[in-house]
Amino acid sequence: MAGPTESRHGMWSNRWLFVLAAAGSAVGLGNIWKFPYIAGENGGGAFVILYLLCIAFVGIPIMMAEVLIGREGRQSPINTMRHLIKQHHRHPAWVLIGWAGVAAGFLILSYYVVIAGWALYYILQMGSGALEGATAEQAGALFAEFLDSPIELIFWQTLFMVLTVYIISRGVISGLETAVRWFMPMLFLLMAVLLGYAVTSDGWSQGVEFMFRMDFDSLTPDAVLAAMGQAFFTLSLGMGAIMAYGAYVPSSASIFSTVSIIAGLDTLVAVVAGLAIFPIVFANGLEPSQGPGLMFVTVPLAFGQMPLGALFGTLFFLLVSFAAITSAISISEPALAYLVEEYNARRGRVAISLGVISWILGLGTVFSFNYWADVNVLGQPTFFDFASFVTDKVLLPIGGLFIGLFGAWALPKTVIGAQLGIDGGFRAVLWKLLAGAVAPLAVLVVFVNTLLG
Ligand code: TRP
């Protein structure tokens, strides 16, 4: 009862390259930029612990469900869902998982590219030595001035979008496989350097305490929702990105072990990023809750004070940009693969149209930091906050909820057994329990709580 063994878009060379590619998708701005500032905004401590619980009990089962479904269908998420619905006589509405994912993808890509553009800009800033010996005020002012200039933001947004479109037009597999082999290990190394600096700074113990203290009073429903949203975002879940990559996974790879490694690597990078950034925050009298700019102020500050800081700093932002590009590629893949399948279109053309649409949407985020800084969008302080809210806290968790339900209940036992390499019994029950009940219920409970709270 197993599905096809090959995808028309190509296949990962082996399971390790899938691990690297999926880790390339998961590890990105979400870990290094977003995690520290969201943790900061939500008071650290209890937030971080809740986030780790979400990764383990919601993230891992849902990621397994995405890989399982993707590998069973071996097409873009939309067509995979169509195919599985037809084959197993399920309700046609399940296909909404695919469509909602594509919509979420456009919105995520639109702001992701803007922020990734900031990282590109900082490659230059670090390289020129502009931040050498800078004080916290100077680093803050440099960033504030940058945000104030829409033209500059658009320039870097455009550059990053062009790079992304260029790579995705050439196909995911070959380009990505070469890239992730090199940059993932280098990124880990550079994070270690930054961590080493943080450990020796005055703020170390305060930073650690901030991240891991158990102040469960500060756990507002909003903080709980933020922790869950961040877990989905950082693991690239809920919109079919991992499902699309799952379609290219060789049939012999074990879903549980590959997914655990991917989630482990992603979590490691986020925790190290936090442990590198918060001590610098405290050592320099900055605010942990300062929002999206956190990384772009603290990290340049730290490198500006280190020997060989210009070199390491340049390298760091280079690697962050790289991490962002491997993530941006995966955000585009569900829509791209679908359009290629549906219209037999060339990847190049499709990639350009996709890039143009999300570039235009991205202007909303660019202006959120200057012209439209005071324009509320549907109850959110800016367009950027709105895009981020709708995706992380609504579309991704709801998408994930239904992906879990589909992977646990809508597919026949035989299919699930073959994909997970289990033959009924205890592990099959555990699967239904985690992917089909615990994870979806957790999402539901968090939502209800937020609505009531
Ligand atoms: N996980 C990536 C990060 O942390 C971003 C990302 C890539 C993503 N693909 C995604 C987020 C799909 C949500 C859905 O930076």
Is residue 9 in some structural domain?
no
Q: How far apart are CA 173 and CA 29, in angstroms?
A: 21
- Distances in Å between the Cα of 267 and the Cα atoms of 186, 227, 236 are 17, 13, 12
Q: Which pLDDT tens digit goes with each residue over 298-331?
A: 989 988 888 888 988 898 899 899 899 999 999 9
State the distance from the centre of ligand 1 to the C-alpha of 24, rounded, in angstroms: 9
Q: Which pLDDT tens digit goes with each residue over 239-279?
A: 999 999 999 999 999 999 999 999 999 999 999 999 999 99
**Helix, strand, or coil here: 377?**
strand
Q: How many helices (H) and strands (E) does the chain have?
A: 22, 0
Q: What is the mean pLDDT of residues 40-67?
A: 94
- Burial string for 76-113 (b: 16+ CB within 10 Å, else e) reads bbbbbbbbbbeeeebeeebbebbebbbbbbbbbbbbbb
Over 50: is that where the pLDDT of 125 sits? yes
CB neighbours of residue 135 within 10 Å: 12
Q: What is the mean pLDDT of residues 225-238?
A: 95
Q: What is the mean pLDDT of residues 119-135?
A: 93
Q: How far apart are CA 417 and CA 431, in angstroms?
A: 10
Long-range Cβ contact pairs of 161-166 (< 8 A, separation 24 or more):
161/113, 161/355, 161/358, 161/359, 161/362, 162/355, 163/325, 164/113, 164/325, 164/328, 164/329, 164/332, 164/355, 165/351, 165/352, 165/354, 165/355
Over 80: is that where the pLDDT of 171 sits? no
| Furthest CA-CA distance within the chain | 65
Distance of CA 119 to the CA centre of its chain: 16
Show the domain range for 22: 15-451
Write the CATH number for 21.
Answer: 1.20.1740.10
Q: Which pLDDT tens digit goes with each residue over 101-119?
A: 999 999 999 999 999 999 9
Is residue 10 in some structural domain?
no
Is residue 176 in some structural domain?
yes
Over 60: is that where the pLDDT of 1 sits? no
Is residue 238 in some structural domain?
yes
Ligand 1 close to Cβ of residue 31 (< 6 A): yes
Specify whether the CB–CB gap between 364 and 157 falls below 8 A: no
Q: Which pLDDT tens digit goes with each residue over 60-89?
A: 999 999 999 999 999 999 999 999 999 999
Mutate to test the pocket of ligand 1, among 54, 331, 336, 394 (most ligand atoms within 8 A of CB): 331
Residue 138 has phi, psi (to 5 degrees) of -65, -45
Q: What is the mean pLDDT of residues 120-147?
A: 94
Which residue, by CA, sits nearest to atom 14 of ligand 1?
Answer: 236
Question: Which residues are registered as beta bridge partners of 102?
Answer: none
User: Looking at ligand 1, which atom is closest to the CA of residue 232?
Assistant: 13
Which residue, by CA, sits nearest to atom 10 of ligand 1?
Answer: 236
Q: How far apart are CA 239 and CA 394, in angstroms?
A: 11
Q: How far apart are CA 216 and CA 214, in angstroms?
A: 6
Domain count, the chain: 1
**Helix, strand, or coil here: 98?**
helix
Is residue 2 in some structural domain?
no
